[in-house]
Amino acid sequence: MYAITILAVLFTLAAELTVSLLNYSRRSHPIPDNVADVYDETQYQRWLDYTMETHRLGMLSKGVNGLATLGMLIYGGFPFIARLADSLTTHAILRILAFLAILYGLKYSLNLGLKLYRTFGIEARYGFNKTTPQIFVLDQLKSLTLGLLLSGALLYSLLWLYLNHFESGTLTSGPAAWIPTWLTAWLMITAVILVMNLLYTKVFIRLFNTLTPLTEGPLYDQILNLAQKTGYSLKAISVMNASRRSTRLNAFFSGFGRFKHIVLYDNLIEKCATDEVVAVLAHEIGHAKHKDVLRNFLQSTLQIGATLALLLYFLTASGPWAAAFGFTEPHLGFALLLFGILTEPLGLLLSLPLTALSRKAEYHADGYAATLLPQAMIRALKVLARENFSNLTPHPLAVKLTYTHPPISQRIAAIERIAAAEAAATRSTKKK
């Protein structure tokens, strides 16, 4: 058990570092012809410099976190934190939450310096960062407060369910004993995710950013024409003040049903031509038409159900694992942590089909935009790549494991094929 856990940590760390190094090794790979005009010589050199710096920082971050986990496992750090948490309260669930909160605080502190260096060092040096120290501190406080409240309440509820129904060992007495509680936990988490999906833009995004309705003008008029063509409602298209924090460009679609919302970054509107912004919007409408948010929600729900079933089984059998790392009795907090460590390698394997589905959805959304504004979409993708310092030559394995979006060159090639097919069909219709 001890050896399996250590090997799981080492395997995950080695896999992440290998993928990162493979991606880094492609930095000087020949750029595909269809994106050769994204960077000029000066911009490309800056991209190389940026890539080298962010790569080194990423490797340092992975190494520090992996070695910290190994150190805690080998030298009894987790039992020590458990004793500290137990000294704070006699309440069984609050002891577990205190244990996890202390560990989270240690990990957050360990990574804070790296986050500060990336934001105010690398990102500022290459012109991306617009975040002031005040905004940074407020963002961290809001994120920590929101995360602790939501995750704390959810964890408390799940631990209460377990302690009241599984501690006596009912998991081993057959499905009739444990399925109702597993189903309750699954429905509870699903409800939380559903609420967060529905309120993501209306509530959570507004805690950090200001959203304003798109104002009338040439862009509004073109978007109105697009909406008429596609039959998409204009009720929920907003502009977000993303430039307050970064120069990076983006847009996103969230929610479903009457909670659908499309958000355009103000940077996108500033740095892209009007028809390019409309093309990006067409891409986001493509996500809405294909019900990608709903698909992602259902996919997440199935994953959570399967994960919960494994987790409940592991929790009831985790005593020997805890003993192997210095605990005198089973500890649910450590069991939760250990479950995450042991399933990380499985997560790497699951990322292959999951990221493939995500990239497929992006191709479909691009395809939708390509039937309306193919050339504008191609130009928009090039602007996004240039302004965000996108990697034009990622390693194929890195793409399969970590890329939720296809590489820019492949997206453009797919759009060009669709545009050519549409043109050929038009010519054929005219001849008839």
Rg over CA atoms, the chain = 24
3-state secondary structure of 326: coil
The annotated binding site for Zn(2+) is made up of 283, 287, 362
Beta bridge partners of 239: 212, 264
Query: In a structure prediction context, what are the per-residue pLDDT tens digits for the chain, which is 432 residues long?
Result: 788 889 999 999 899 889 888 988 888 889 999 999 999 888 888 888 898 899 889 889 999 999 999 999 999 999 999 999 999 999 989 999 999 999 999 999 999 999 999 999 999 999 899 999 999 999 999 999 999 999 999 999 988 888 877 655 444 455 556 778 888 889 999 999 888 888 888 889 999 999 998 888 888 889 888 888 888 776 668 899 999 999 888 888 787 777 778 888 999 999 999 999 999 989 988 998 898 888 988 999 999 999 988 888 888 777 788 888 989 888 889 999 999 999 998 888 888 999 999 999 999 999 999 999 999 999 999 999 999 888 999 999 999 999 999 999 999 999 999 988 877 777 777 665
Give the model's pLDDT for residue 176.
Answer: 59
Task: Determine the residue type at 383.
Answer: V
Give the model's pLDDT for residue 368.
Answer: 93
Q: One of 16, 284, 292, 387 is an active-site residue; which one?
A: 284
Domain presence at residue 389: yes
How many CA atoms are closer than 13 Å to the CA of 355, on its beta-carbon side?
Answer: 18
Give the model's pLDDT for residue 179.
Answer: 79
Q: What secondary structure letter does DSSP report for 263?
A: E
Q: One of 16, 123, 366, 387 is an active-site residue; which one?
A: 366
Domain presence at residue 404: yes
Match 């030298």 to its residue by tokens: 75
Give the model's pLDDT for residue 168.
Answer: 52
Contact 291, 304 (CB under 8 A): no
Q: Taking each helix axis from N to C terminus, what angle separates 332-370 and 77-86, rounded to the nearest 10 degrees?
A: 110
Q: How many domains, the chain?
A: 1
Domain presence at residue 15: yes
Q: Is 276 assigned a catalytic role?
A: no
Contact 191, 150 (CB under 8 A): no
Q: Taking each helix axis from N to C terminus, what angle separates 41-74 and 2-25, rounded to the nearest 10 degrees?
A: 170
Q: Which domain range does residue 349 map to? A: 2-207+291-425
The annotated binding site is made up of 283, 287, 362
Give the model's pLDDT for residue 234.
Answer: 66
Domain presence at residue 380: yes
Domain presence at residue 219: no
Domain presence at residue 254: no
Domain presence at residue 246: no
Q: Is 37 assigned a catalytic role?
A: no
Contact 361, 292 (CB under 8 A): yes
C-alpha dist (Å) from residue 397 to 19, 66, 409: 7, 21, 16
Give the model's pLDDT for residue 288.
Answer: 85
Of 35, 28, 44, which Cα lies nearest the Cα of 409?
A: 35
- pTM confidence score: 0.85
C-alpha dist (Å) from residue 319 to 92, 94, 162: 17, 20, 15
Q: Taking each helix axis from N to C terminus, what angle separates 77-86 and 41-74, rounded to the nearest 10 degrees?
A: 70
Domain presence at residue 33: yes
